[in-house]
A and B are shown apart, each in its own frame.
Chain A
């Protein structure tokens, strides 16, 4: 099956082509939906089969390359369209096609009746196609193809409702912002690729990584490569300073937010860092940078999430924050934990978004949580699944989020330092708090919507994916039970990833061992804090709303800062975008081009014109004058001739 892995990529492409070219003719939503979903479903099936085959292979044979054809062959550069199946890519593929399939199915219900139904499914299929290229590509360039491809799909899907307003601007503006901010990241990624090629003479993963492991290459070079690649990752995975596009990406339809902007695309950066783990591990300074950026992003995004009132915005900032966790993990060298969190996060965050979609659907596009309340009465399935996801993200023991988050926190201490842990744990507490603020305001308390709104449970086609995801959110964590509970070597996921990350981990500095007691203590503290935050949020936002209002008004400055997302968008606008636009228009175009360069060009023409005006006075038009000049000329010439003779 592994040899046919490219089929998992071709099915979505076929789905895209069919729906994209003929979708407007088909018109029947059912057929379009089935084509779109089954394309991804088939992909998922093939991925599972490949996964099973991989499981049955001996550990050292679990890396397989499937070549299709040569893409670029210039001088020393030989890039093939080839796909790499190994432990890392197969797990990512399972997540993408699995969650992707569920979201496709959900979308059949969610997008019902939309004029652009076919367009939506075509784009979603295209996205899966690009994402699979990103994950399975066996070299940096195929990865980059997917990398930009998902950016394009993200652009198209954010801008899906291209005629609508979004917050202060319009939906297309949000889409454009996403694409351009991503492009800034891509710029870094490109430079990273160039440096890799210059250093290793190849862009092929296996070749580059084996050279990186054994060749004597300076740490500076590694640092630059890692830095450039990380710039790319901050763009795609919405980290400081390039996270600003993700909250705006919520302008897209909710399934898109679930699929692209929560479960899959935004984790591409984490995947890339994990993929290039050996390069990052060889650049300790950049590792620290990754960890710090991840931590700061996690913390700041969480604080912003505290005060947002739009249900999708809260989830968006929560996504940014969780992505920060993943980078924290990668930064301290726990690449396996990062991917683990990618997986659990894909489950519960997709579930949260789909649940939110279900709520928005029921509330007639109302997204402000202040206008919800007591929805558990109307939509029990949504309520139940949503709260499971919320427990999972809050890190309640036994659910998937607990395992991955705890692993990250533990590594942030054991491989990092105590400060990392403290801020990380604090973020976890804040996360628990704002998630249950959201849950309480949405599902509990008084009904705060008008009489004309009649919330209803969503159709089965939407709730079944919710249930499946809820199931995954509960059990998804048991593949990575911490070793203190499961015993030495009991963490299945860690063992699975071992061959992939072993070279990187070998390169990293190893700290002295930590006792089990420490681990249990820290785990206990963070869990207790998170649980109390959940309870506190529940109490405040269901019964004692005034506490929240009072707190908000007592720290008005801080509250407004958070509400306005630390004014980062405004700062970018006034410090980068405006100046560039003004300089381009006023200085470059109107002055340099039109005045200076064209001034010189037209000026030299004018100069000749004015000189001619003077000279042309000679042309009196009197023939006799010309004759006279001629005579004089001839005479002079004759005299000169005679004198020289």
Chain B
């Protein structure tokens, strides 16, 4: 028996919402980065799902792209976090407001 597509999509949407909530609520920059990863992965899940259900590989290719980008992003993001930590001795995002008016 095949699992219906809604299950996958609901899972994906749930993961995405968790990610959004994480980005908006958590203070720790690393956790925020992880939440972003979660959001990206939820998108990947949706892409692969559609790919499988529609019987072509475009979605999977996209998923690979996203993973590459996510990897790069994670590298840069972590580098920034380290740079900020060196300067501010914190990764607490509400203490980092350099762009405040």
Interface residues of A (CB under 8 A from B): 616-617, 619-624, 627-628, 631
In the complex, what residues of B have CB within 8 A of residue A619's CB?
99-101
Chain B 67-86 near chain A by CB (<8 Å), digits 1 or 0: 00000000000000000000
**Is there contact, CB below 8 Å, between A621 and B99?**
yes
Majority secondary structure of chain A interface residues (helix, strand, loop or mixed)? helix
**Is there contact, CB below 8 Å, between A628 and B99?**
no
In the complex, what residues of A have CB within 8 A of residue B98's CB?
621
| Distance of A195 Cα from B23 Cα, bound (Å) | 83
Q: List 10 A-B contacts (CB under 8 A).
A: A616-B101, A617-B101, A620-B97, A620-B100, A621-B96, A621-B97, A622-B100, A623-B96, A624-B32, A624-B93
Interface residues of B (CB under 8 A from A): 20, 23-25, 32, 93-94, 96-101
A633 to chain B minimum Cβ distance, whole angstroms, is 13
| Distance of A624 Cα from B93 Cα, bound (Å) | 8
| Distance of A621 Cα from B25 Cα, bound (Å) | 16
**Is there contact, CB below 8 Å, between A622 and B24?**
no
A606 to chain B minimum Cβ distance, whole angstroms, is 18
In the complex, what residues of B have CB within 8 A of residue A616's CB?
101
B17 to chain A minimum Cβ distance, whole angstroms, is 11
| Known pairs A627-B24, A628-B24, A631-B24; A622 contacts B97 (CB<8 A) | yes
| Distance of A628 Cα from B24 Cα, bound (Å) | 6
Cβ-defined partner of A622 (8 Å) among B23, B25, B93 = B93
| Contacts A627-B23, A628-B24 known; 18 new A-B pairs at CB < 8 A | A616-B101, A617-B101, A619-B99, A619-B100, A619-B101, A621-B96, A621-B101, A622-B93, A622-B94, A622-B97, A623-B93, A623-B96, A624-B25, A624-B32, A624-B93, A624-B94, A627-B24, A631-B20
In the complex, what residues of A have CB within 8 A of residue B20's CB?
631
B76 to chain A minimum Cβ distance, whole angstroms, is 15
| Distance of A616 Cα from B100 Cα, bound (Å) | 9
In the complex, what residues of A have CB within 8 A of residue B100's CB?
619-622
| Distance of A631 Cα from B100 Cα, bound (Å) | 20
| Distance of A468 Cα from B34 Cα, bound (Å) | 117
| Distance of A409 Cα from B96 Cα, bound (Å) | 103
B12 to chain A minimum Cβ distance, whole angstroms, is 16
In the complex, what residues of B have CB within 8 A of residue A627's CB?
23-24
B8 to chain A minimum Cβ distance, whole angstroms, is 20
| Distance of A616 Cα from B101 Cα, bound (Å) | 6
Whose C-beta in chain A lies nearest to the C-beta of B94? Answer: A622
B98 to chain A minimum Cβ distance, whole angstroms, is 6
